[in-house]
């Protein structure tokens, strides 16, 4: 056998590290619950078209009476247009999760870019970027998101953009700190000495090393984004045709479900949001604890 | 008054961690008489601080303490909480390893000095500040430094504050856990001087812990050497240093670490290998994997401490073979 | 939006490194902070202008969305609002207005934005102030107990409930509270017009109206204080000086009260101020749900137009308030933590 190449060794080590993280993650009950709940919800959302009939979402095909209490036929009752609340919550998961994930991608993208740049180039660039980041960090993000989604054309993408653009600063700070830590390691110095360029160092060394923590942070950002989406939709900034959970709550309020006491219309979307956010948070927190030794139980 | 000031009888401490039990101290017998200075030496991780904390039952809740700790003949292990609190600091006090962290960072040091005095009724509220001033002057700091915060003092000054604090309630016993580590050589010598002087002036019993034999050589009458949670040799300090019986002590004293050399802390020069992990000790004599004179029996005989001379004992098979 | 989650769960609020020298250092430090805050405020103003004047393209179209207006009317409106000038000139005008304390005129209410904000600021301060105070009390108390008995049933339950409440959208909690309590509490407004005059009945009625919105905000807010206090105290509990305190013979509860808790509170105090962004966003939805006539409800009303000058004014005022609170937090930290306090 020939000796394995350095890259192979590096990958082997990385695989071993992933295995170790996985083992430790499994010992965290909260994290495990989060992961299980998420897997279930994501599976249900993805396979909704196969498992249920979307035509029930169309008001013109509604089969129930308005605001019918839960019964054997409608397990969670009906909304003001006589549609099944259960079906709506199920399909709403698709939109809420989609918006949450897309917004997170935008946010993590910006955050990583800014963070890596601030750490990698240092000096003046870093100072300006960090000043900028700190500024956005303290800005009340809901107010900014409201502003953005007001002036953009209303709809899902306005919300994705609004949430994404307002929630990147914490990722940027994390990435910057991690990048600084990685770049001070000797093997990076060696790479520099061997004449590696910025792009090479960032892509081959920095990004793989910061990816894990960014990933953990990402799960927390998804949780944030889902709440933010529901808040914006609730304030009437969403797309009425894309029935996310927030949009459902907005409709519930608008149709007088509160005065009517239609708890079956009000509770499920909110509980769904809380459950998903909690699951993301527990999983993210467990992952962060495993990855970040500073947070580990001492 | 035949009974010793402090006597440890078969003391054991096991930390229960998520990765299984860690037997950090595995049966230690040690005696400190009134006015006597006893040194406890050993590499990092051999359980020295654990012994120190166990004397006043200051271990974290994950630790289980066994055996007997007789302080003035009274068993600390069996004490009720109220009695234990009364004994703490009044009968025995501790100079902790790393004074930077052992002092509350956001309170003036004077306040921290006054705390045990007020608690144990050593002085009324009106005399306490003069007592604090006296204590500080006793360790060579001006009384006005009482208003300083720990971060405003140098490492040596903080260590002096710790020593003053240990003296606050006139204890009969002081346990000094590496009082001079992390200080530079000059300051280290000053602090050691101060400790020895105070101890002999006040007639206090002192248990001095260090990984550094040179520190102990200059201050101690008796010396105990620990390895992997056990004492493997003890006796009069001079004899132990000049004619060590155990190969580990030999290696330690041969490599006589230079004061203040951080490297020597981890592994004495001339001694190959790492200190053993207490949760996975080798069978037989725990030192055998690193021992230059190990032979077949060492691998499976767990040898106990036994007398080698008057007032001396060692735990090595070589010492009992003719 | 609920602020950075990971920060809430594992605060990284380690005390800033000690600023250089003493005496002169403090003044310089203060000046730096103040300067930074002023720059941030300017950035808020620029951002607000960009968002509400530049980004919408033609604000007049937004205002008149859906209404049948002819091109002359549009042009007249544009002229009236000063929107026919070049952007740079508009910005200069805007700055000049701001300097006079003029935030422009609301399209919707036809009154100066500053007047509107002035009218609505009181109820918001009342709601947010009371809710924050309660949340801090509850959160710190529960967090301290949870940390001290880490892993106990109390710890697990209180942390679990806090996480769950914190995961729920604020407005939804409000709606649920409204539904659950039925007619026990008024569902909207500040005060009932039929309440007899006089201090006592008026105050009681106000408290009656305040209960539900306040409870909602507390439910969302206290979790963060609990979690931060808990983790900050847990971190503190590993500190060596607590062993020293124990070694001195202090009772456990004194070790906690005198040493651990006060030290763990330091980062928490800062967080209370840093959290104001969260409180502001909480207020927007809670005020909307309960029709509490504060800045949050005003924001919601402005959204309906959308009333761009009003939104712009609110944006500047709310963001500015958060910036000021941050400045206070940083300065406060200097005062309460001797490690960063330079005497
Ligand atoms: N709280 C704890 N939980 C688990 N294991 C511990 C704990 N504290 C100490 N240990 C382990 O017990 C052993 C003895 O530790 P101790 O602190 O007594 O060593 P030491 O001799 O004082 O070392 P040093 O010279 O570095 O201070 C070490 O192996 C350490 O890893
Ligand atoms: Mg130690």
Residue B51 falls inside a structural domain: yes
DSSP state of C260: I
| pLDDT band (50, 70, 90) for residue C343 | very low
- Contact of B77 with chain C, judged by CB distance below 8 Å, is answered with no
- Distances in Å between the Cα of C98 and the Cα atoms of A119, C37, C105 are 37, 17, 12
Res B139 pLDDT > 80? yes
Give C215-273 pLDDT, tens digit per residue. 999 998 898 889 888 888 888 887 889 999 999 999 988 998 889 988 888 877 777 77
Stretch B76-89: mean pLDDT, rounded? 93
Q: Which A residues in the span 133-152 are in contact with C, Cβ-Cβ below 8 Å?
A: 135, 137-148, 150-152
DSSP state of C112: B
Phi and psi at residue A104, in whole multiples of 5°? -65, -40
Test A142 with C9 for CB contact under 8 angstroms: no
Residue A63 falls inside a structural domain: no
Query: Could you tell me the residue range of the domain that residue A233 belongs to?
Result: 20-51+71-297
Res C113 pLDDT > 80? yes
Residue B97 falls inside a structural domain: no
Question: Helix, strand, or coil here: B167?
Answer: helix
| pLDDT band (50, 70, 90) for residue C21 | very low
Residue A45 falls inside a structural domain: yes
Residue B236 falls inside a structural domain: yes
Calculate ∠ Cα C302-C308-C310, nearest 5°: 55
DSSP state of C19: P
- What's the total number of domains in chain A? 1
Res C9 pLDDT > 70? no
Q: Which residues of chain A have pLDDT under 70?
A: 1-4, 6, 56, 59, 61-62, 64, 68, 72, 74, 292-298
Res C197 pLDDT > 90? no
> In 3D, which of A62, A40, A104 has the Cα closest to residue A272?
A40
For residues B263 and B146, state if they share a domain: no
Q: What whole-number distance in Å separates Cα of residue A47 and Cα of residue A41?
A: 10
Stretch C110-138: mean pLDDT, rounded? 91
Test B106 with C266 for CB contact under 8 angstroms: yes
Q: What whole-number distance in Å separates Cα of residue C83 and Cα of residue C99?
A: 19
Q: Is the CB of B49 under 6 A from ligand 1?
A: yes
pLDDT at A6: 66
Question: How far off is chain C from A261, nearest CA to CA, in Å?
Answer: 6
Pairing mode, if any, of strands B205-210 and B37-41? parallel
> In 3D, which of C322, C221, C3 has the Cα closest to residue A139?
C322
Assigned architecture for domain C120-342 = Orthogonal Bundle (1.10)
Domain harbouring B36, CATH code: 3.40.50.300
Question: Helix, strand, or coil here: B75?
Answer: strand
> Which residues from chain C sit within 8 angstroms of residue B107, using beta carbons?
259
- Distances in Å between the Cα of C177 and the Cα atoms of A185, A267, B152, C182, C206 are 54, 11, 52, 8, 18
pLDDT at A20: 78
DSSP string for A103-142? HHHHHHHHHHHHHHHHHHH-HHHHHHHHHHHHHHHHS-HH
Best residue of C20, C241, C245 to probe chain B, by most B CBs closer than 10 Å: C241
| The 3-state secondary structure of A134-179, one letter per residue | HHHHHCCHHHHHHHHHHHCCCCHHHHHHHHHHHCCHHHHHHHHHHH
- Contact of A224 with chain C, judged by CB distance below 8 Å, is answered with yes
For residues B123 and B184, state if they share a domain: no
For residues B158 and B285, state if they share a domain: no
Whether this model's ipTM surpasses 0.90 comes out as no
**Higher per-residue confidence, C118 vs A140:** C118
Give B163-194 pLDDT, tens digit per residue. 999 999 989 999 999 888 777 788 888 888 88
Q: What whole-number distance in Å separates Cα of residue C303 and Cα of residue C282?
A: 16
Best residue of B55, B86, B105 to probe chain C, by most C CBs closer than 10 Å: B105
Cis peptide before C306 (omega within 30 of 0): yes
For the CA of B60, the nearest ligand: 1
For residues B248 and B273, state if they share a domain: yes
Of all atoms in ligand 1, which is nearest to the CA of residue B226? Answer: 21
Question: A78: which strand partners?
Answer: A84
pLDDT at B2: 67
For residues B111 and B86, state if they share a domain: no
Q: What whole-number distance in Å separates Cα of residue B232 and Cα of residue B41?
A: 10
Strand order, beta sheet including B20-32: B20-32, B6-17, B63-71, B74-75
pTM of the shown model: 0.78
Q: Is the CB of B28 under 6 A from ligand 1?
A: no
Stretch C202-219: mean pLDDT, rounded? 88
- What's the total number of domains in chain B? 2
Do the beta carbons of residue A144 and residue A230 sit within 8 Å?
no
Question: Helix, strand, or coil here: C106?
Answer: coil
Test C285 with A234 for CB contact under 8 angstroms: yes
For residues B136 and B175, state if they share a domain: no
Test C1 with A224 for CB contact under 8 angstroms: yes
Q: What whole-number distance in Å separates Cα of residue A62 and Cα of residue A60?
A: 6
Measured on CA atoms in the order A256, A258, A260, A263, is the torsion positive or negative?
positive
Measured on CA atoms in the order C43, C44, C47, C48, is the torsion positive or negative?
negative
Stretch B49-64: mean pLDDT, rounded? 92
Pairing mode, if any, of strands B92-95 and B173-177? parallel
> Which residues from chain C sit within 8 angstroms of residue A145, using beta carbons?
1
Q: What whole-number distance in Å separates Cα of residue B51 and Cα of residue B63?
A: 12
> Which residues from chain C sit within 8 angstroms of residue B120, using beta carbons?
249
Stretch C118-128: mean pLDDT, rounded? 92
Residue B197 falls inside a structural domain: yes
Test A227 with C2 for CB contact under 8 angstroms: yes
- Contact of A230 with chain C, judged by CB distance below 8 Å, is answered with yes
What size, in residues, is chain C? 343
Q: Whose CA is nearest to atom 6 of ligand 1?
A: B15
Question: Domain ranges in chain C?
Answer: 120-342
Question: Helix, strand, or coil here: C325?
Answer: helix
> In 3D, which of A96, A41, A162, A167 has the Cα closest to residue C6?
A167
Cα-to-centroid distance, B24 and ligand 1 (Å): 7
For residues B188 and B228, state if they share a domain: yes
For residues B184 and B83, state if they share a domain: yes
pLDDT above 70 covers a percentage of chain C that reads: 87
- Distances in Å between the Cα of C100 and the Cα atoms of A76, C44, C97, C114, C208 are 56, 17, 5, 11, 39
pLDDT above 70 covers a percentage of chain B that reads: 92
Calculate ∠ Cα B303-B306-B309, nearest 5°: 140
| pLDDT band (50, 70, 90) for residue B270 | low
What size, in residues, is chain B? 322
| pLDDT band (50, 70, 90) for residue B56 | very high
Write the residue in C249, C251, C262 that is nearest to B89 by C-beta. C249
Residue B1 falls inside a structural domain: no
Pairing mode, if any, of strands B37-41 and B222-227? parallel
Residue B65 falls inside a structural domain: yes
Give C273-324 pLDDT, tens digit per residue. 777 666 777 788 899 888 899 999 999 998 887 788 898 899 888 888 888 8
Residue B96 falls inside a structural domain: no
Query: Could you tell me the residue range of the domain that residue B227 belongs to?
Result: 6-91+171-319
Test C311 with A147 for CB contact under 8 angstroms: yes
Do the beta carbons of residue A235 and residue C288 sit within 8 Å?
yes
Return the number of other C-beta atoms located less than 10 Å from residue A162's C-beta.
Answer: 28
Question: Which chain A residue lies closest to C316 (C-alpha atoms)?
Answer: A143
> Which residues from chain C sit within 8 angstroms of residue A270, using beta carbons?
168-169, 172-173, 175-176
Res B260 pLDDT > 50? no
Test A234 with C171 for CB contact under 8 angstroms: yes
For residues B178 and B266, state if they share a domain: yes
Residue A191 falls inside a structural domain: yes
């Amino acid at each position: 056998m020939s000796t394995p190449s350095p890259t192979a060794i590096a990958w082997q080590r990385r695989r071993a590290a992933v295995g170790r993280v996985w083992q430790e993650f499994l010992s965290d009950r909260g994290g495990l619950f989060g992961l299980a709940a998420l897997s279930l919800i994501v599976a249900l959302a993805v396979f909704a078209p196969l498992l249920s009939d979307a035509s029930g979402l169309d008001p013109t095909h509604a089969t129930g009476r308005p605001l019918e209490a839960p019964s054997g036929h409608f397990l969670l009752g009906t909304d003001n247009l006589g549609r099944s609340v259960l079906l709506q919550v199920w399909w709403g998961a698709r939109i809420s999760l989609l918006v949450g994930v897309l917004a997170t991608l935008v946010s993590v993208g910006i955050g990583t870019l800014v963070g890596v740049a601030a750490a990698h180039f240092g000096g003046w660039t870093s100072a300006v970027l960090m000043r900028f980041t700190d500024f956005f960090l303290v800005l009340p993000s809901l107010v900014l998101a409201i502003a953005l989604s007001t002036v953009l054309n209303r709809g899902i993408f306005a919300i994705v953009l609004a949430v994404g653009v307002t929630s990147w600063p914490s990722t940027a700070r994390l990435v910057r700190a991690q990048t600084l830590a990685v770049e001070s390691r000797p093997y990076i110095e060696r790479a520099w000495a061997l004449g590696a360029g910025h792009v090479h160092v960032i892509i081959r060394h920095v990004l793989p090393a910061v990816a894990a923590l960014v990933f953990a942070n990402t799960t927390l950002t998804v949780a944030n984004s889902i709440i933010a989406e529901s808040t914006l939709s609730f304030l009437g900034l969403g797309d009425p045709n894309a029935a996310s959970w927030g949009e459902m709550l907005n409709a519930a309020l608008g149709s007088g479900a509160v005065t009517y006491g239609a708890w079956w219309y009000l509770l499920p979307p909110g509980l769904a949001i809380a459950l998903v956010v909690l699951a993301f948070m527990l999983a993210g927190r467990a992952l962060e604890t495993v990855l970040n030794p500073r947070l580990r139980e001492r | 008054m035949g009974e010793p000031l402090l006597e440890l009888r078969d003391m054991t401490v096991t930390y229960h961690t998520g990765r299984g039990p860690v037997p950090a101290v595995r049966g230690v017998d040690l005696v400190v008489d009134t006015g006597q200075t006893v040194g406890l030496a050993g590499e990092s991780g051999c359980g020295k601080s654990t012994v120190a904390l166990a004397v006043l039952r200051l271990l974290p809740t994950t630790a289980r303490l066994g055996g007997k700790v007789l302080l003035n003949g009274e068993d600390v292990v069996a004490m009720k909480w109220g009695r234990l609190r009364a004994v703490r600091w009044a009968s025995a006090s501790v100079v902790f390893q790393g004074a930077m962290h052992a002092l509350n960072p956001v309170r003036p040091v004077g306040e921290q000095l006054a705390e045990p005095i007020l608690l144990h009724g050593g002085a009324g509220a009106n005399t306490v500040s003069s007592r604090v001033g006296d204590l500080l002057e006793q360790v060579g700091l001006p009384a006005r430094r009482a208003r300083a915060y720990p971060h405003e003092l140098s490492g040596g000054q903080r260590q002096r504050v710790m020593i003053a604090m240990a003296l606050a309630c006139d204890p009969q016993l002081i346990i000094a856990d590496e009082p001079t580590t992390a200080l530079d050589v000059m300051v280290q010598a000053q602090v050691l001087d101060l400790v020895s002087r105070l101890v002999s002036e006040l007639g206090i019993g002192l248990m001095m812990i260090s990984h550094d034999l040179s520190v102990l050589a200059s201050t101690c009458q008796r010396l105990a050497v620990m390895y992997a949670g056990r004492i493997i040799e003890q006796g009069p300090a001079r004899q132990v240093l000049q004619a060590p019986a155990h190969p580990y002590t030999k290696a330690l004293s041969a490599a006589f670490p230079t004061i203040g050399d951080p490297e020597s802390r981890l592994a004495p020069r001339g001694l190959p290998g790492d200190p053993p992990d207490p949760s996975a000790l080798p069978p037989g004599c725990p030192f055998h994997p690193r021992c230059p004179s190990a032979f077949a029996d060492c691998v499976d005989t767990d040898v106990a401490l036994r007398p080698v001379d008057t007032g001396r004992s060692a735990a090595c098979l070589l010492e009992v073979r003719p | 939006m609920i602020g950075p989650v990971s920060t809430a769960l594992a605060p990284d609020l380690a005390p800033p490194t000690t600023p250089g020298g003493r005496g002169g250092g403090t003044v310089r430090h203060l000046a730096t902070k103040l300067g930074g805050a002023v720059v941030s405020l300017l950035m808020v103003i620029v951002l607000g202008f960009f968002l509400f004047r530049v980004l919408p393209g033609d604000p007049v179209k937004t205002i008149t969305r859906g209404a049948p207006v002819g091109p002359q009317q549009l042009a007249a409106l544009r002229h009236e609002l000063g929107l026919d000038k070049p952007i740079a000139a508009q910005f200069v005008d805007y700055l000049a207005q701001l300097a006079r304390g003029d935030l422009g005129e609301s399209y919707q209410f036809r009154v100066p934005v500053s007047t509107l904000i002035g009218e609505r600021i009181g109820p918001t301060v009342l709601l947010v102030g009371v809710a924050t105070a309660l949340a801090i009390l509850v959160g710190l108390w529960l967090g301290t107990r949870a940390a001290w008995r880490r892993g106990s049933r109390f710890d697990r339950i209180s942390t679990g409930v806090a996480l769950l409440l914190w995961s729920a959208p604020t407005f939804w909690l409000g709606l649920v509270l409204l539904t659950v309590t039925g007619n026990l509490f008024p569902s909207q407004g500040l005060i009932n017009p039929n309440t007899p005059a006089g201090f006592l009945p008026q105050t009681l009625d106000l408290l009656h109206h305040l209960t539900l919105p306040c409870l909602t905000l507390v439910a969302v807010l206290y979790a963060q204080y609990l979690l931060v206090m808990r983790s900050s105290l847990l971190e503190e509990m590993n500190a060596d000086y607590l062993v020293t305190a124990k070694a001195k013979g202090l009772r456990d509860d004194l070790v906690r009260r005198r040493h651990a808790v006060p030290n763990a509170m330091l980062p928490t105090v800062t967080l209370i101020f840093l959290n104001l962004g969260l409180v502001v966003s909480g207020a927007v939805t809670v005020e909307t749900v309960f029709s509490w006539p504060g800045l949050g409800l005003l924001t919601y009303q402005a959204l309906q137009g959308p009333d761009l000058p009003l939104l712009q004014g609110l944006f500047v005022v709310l963001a500015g308030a958060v910036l000021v609170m941050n400045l206070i937090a940083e300065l406060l930290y200097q005062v309460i933590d001797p490690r960063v306090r330079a005497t």
